[in-house]
Amino acid sequence: MVVGEVAMETDVVVIGGGPGGYAAAIRLGQLGLSVVLIEKDSLGGVCLNRGCIPSKALIHSAAEFHKLGNLAKLGIELPEGNAAFRMPKWQAWKESVVSQLQAGVGRLCEANGVTVVKGSATFLSQDRISVETGGDFETYKFRQAIVATGSRPYLPPFVERDGEIILDSTDALNLQKVPETLAIIGGGYIGMELGMAFAKLGSQVTILETANDILPQTAQSLTQEVKKQSKKLGMTVKTEAMVQAVAIVEGRALLDIRTGRQGEREQLTAEKVLVTIGRVPNTGEIGLAQAGVQTDERGYILVDQACRTNVPHMYAIGDVTLGPALAHRAAKQGIVAAEVIAGLPSRVDSPYVPYVIFTEPQIAGVGLTKEEAEQQGYRVKAAAFPYRANGRALATDEKEGFAEVIVDEQSHLLLGMHIVGADASNLIGEGVLALELAARVEDVALIVHPHPTLSEVWLEAAEAVLGHAIHMLNKA
């Protein structure tokens, strides 16, 4: 960079074009502020390009392929011969989906007056930032800044990713062939989602989880159906399994494992190894120290409800802040930060951030689980309605799962709504709205739900709490 170079001026710079960053930039443009959005790769960030969207595309395709084996009982007979899943064709379809969404984000940015700059950003001070664009440098002077640089997969020191045999989630979604054997280090939501998808496509999948159960951040009462389905898919799940080392021997991965409380040694050979044991924030190489922005010992930026850092005119959103690494949380934070910068009274003040796990079956929830509510001192009433008692679920052969409603016994205020089963990812929207509006269980029970639909599981669960469910026996 040339000393004395003239800096281009803007009201706000946003660093990172993922779901949080581009939402912030677009909202800033709507509010009449000049904004520069800096993205070193592609608009949409990890979520659109290498995470949420590609993984759900794979999960959907795997589910559709897996259903072929169950069509005969529905009266559908396929021509003789084995159906095949062609990974290269799926890759082309995935790329078409990603490209369409990327283009849409780009058009929205342009339409809202957002200047998009492709390059790597580094803060020079509290009001200047340098952007390296293909070997050249541009400098921007800003009044406000939003850091939205996201996160990356964490790789432990004993694993050296090569992108061919030892993979992270991005590598797995770029495979051109379904592996015959796949070992997954980490039984959290990413490991279980991708593991079940590859198992449906024919891989022999082994899950290695250090905790005493899969999906350790999720209530065990909600994971039982997933464990049943993993067995049906032929997956091997090893809990209390600590991977000590991974080596490549004759073109395959050799894993050294300690299992159980006694630490018994095992070895496992697999064609591919996928590492999914967490993510780390991308805050180490953007010059936060020059800007005076403080981070904790793990690199997370501390923010208040306005997403403001310790530097009053600088904000941080998404995976670089403490909290669940969820795209919808990042987008909400981005909109809040933009509105606060514009002088609006906006805050991230709701505890009702839903979670969705795209396993088989899906798991989704919002608010407290029964166990959490009891730990917080509530006297709890709860009821669960099974999918197998729902007409739509039976008609579509999706009968595994249940919907659960957790209620304060005295006030009947809804404390949590959780669902395991087909389309849980969409059905949880009703729960989020109900809790956000401080609804009582009677409010859900009084709503006329359309029939026959899966949404009726909420109606029946709410009525069961009140003791008058129609399609299940009520507890005395």
* pLDDT tens sequence across 103-161: 999 999 999 999 999 999 999 999 999 999 887 899 999 999 999 999 999 999 889 99
Residues 133 and 75 in one domain: yes
**Mean pLDDT computed over every residue of the chain:** 95
CATH number at residue 227: 3.50.50.60
* pLDDT average, residue stretch 80-92: 90
Neighbours of 471 (CB within 10 A): 15
CA atoms of 238 and 259, how far apart (whole Å): 8
Spatial neighbors of 223 by CB under 8 A, at least 6 apart, are: 213, 214, 215, 363
Are 440 and 312 found together in one domain? no
Catalytic residue IDs: 451
Could you tell me if 147 and 64 lie in one domain? yes
Distances (CA, A) of 272 to 92, 109, 221: 22, 39, 31
Asked whether residue 5 carries a pLDDT value surpassing 90, the answer given is no
356 occurs within a structural domain: no
Query: In this structure, what token pair is assigned to residue 268?
Result: 């496992």
Residues 399, 453 within the same domain:
yes
Indicate the residue among 227, 245, 277 that finishes a domain: 277
Alpha carbons 178 and 182: distance in angstroms, whole number? 9
250/223 Cα distance (integer angstroms): 37
Q: How many domains does the chain have?
A: 3
Asked if residue 384 and residue 271 are part of one domain, the reply reads no
Q: Does residue 213 sit in the same domain as residue 319? A: no
Q: Is residue 95 part of a domain?
A: yes
Q: Minimum mean pLDDT among 5-9, 267-271, 276-280, 388-392: which range?
A: 5-9
Task: Provide mean pLDDT across the span 388-394.
Answer: 97
* pLDDT tens for each residue of 27-64: 999 999 999 999 999 999 999 999 999 999 999 999 99
Residue 36 forms beta bridges with which residues? Answer: 13, 115
pTM of the model: 0.94
Encoded amino acid at 348, one letter: V
Q: What pLDDT does residue 476 have?
A: 65
The answer as to whether 391 is a domain residue is: yes
209 with 72, same domain?
no
Confidence of residue 4 (pLDDT cuts 50, 70, 90): very low
Q: Are 205 and 333 part of one and the same domain? A: no
Do 26 and 112 belong together in one domain?
yes
Same domain for 177 and 143: no
In a domain, 133, yes or no: yes
Query: Is pLDDT above 60 for 411?
Result: yes
Domain boundary among 341, 375, 391: 341
Residue 79's pLDDT band (boundaries 50, 70, 90)? confident
432 CB contacts (<8 Å, ≥6 apart)? Answer: 352, 354, 366
How does pLDDT run across 424-473, given as a tens digit for each residue? 999 999 999 999 999 999 999 999 999 999 999 999 999 999 999 999 99
pLDDT band at residue 3 under the 50/70/90 scheme: very low
Report which secondary-structure segment, H or E, holds 355. Answer: strand 355-357
Report if residue 234 sits inside a domain: yes
Q: What is the DSSP letter of 180?
A: S
Determine the pLDDT at residue 2.
45
Domain check: are 416 and 376 in the same one? yes
Nearest to 35 by CA among 134, 127, 112: 112
Range of the domain at 381: 361-466
Counting residues of the chain whose pLDDT is more than 70, the rounded percentage is 99
Q: What is the DSSP string of 382-418?
A: EEEEEGGG-HHHHHTT----EEEEEEETTT-BEEEEE
Residues 308 and 212 in one domain: no
Domain boundary among 233, 261, 277: 277
Domain membership of residue 348 (yes or no) is no
**Residue 224 covered by a domain:** yes
Residue-by-residue DSSP string for 127-154: SEEEEEETTEEEEEEEEEEEE---EEE-
CATH number of the structural domain spanning residue 365:
3.30.390.30
185-243 pLDDT, tens digit per residue, is 999 999 999 999 999 999 999 999 999 999 999 999 999 999 999 999 999 999 999 99
| 79-86: Cβ within 8 A, 24+ apart | 85/61, 85/178, 85/201, 85/202
Give a yes or no: residue 80 inside a domain.
yes
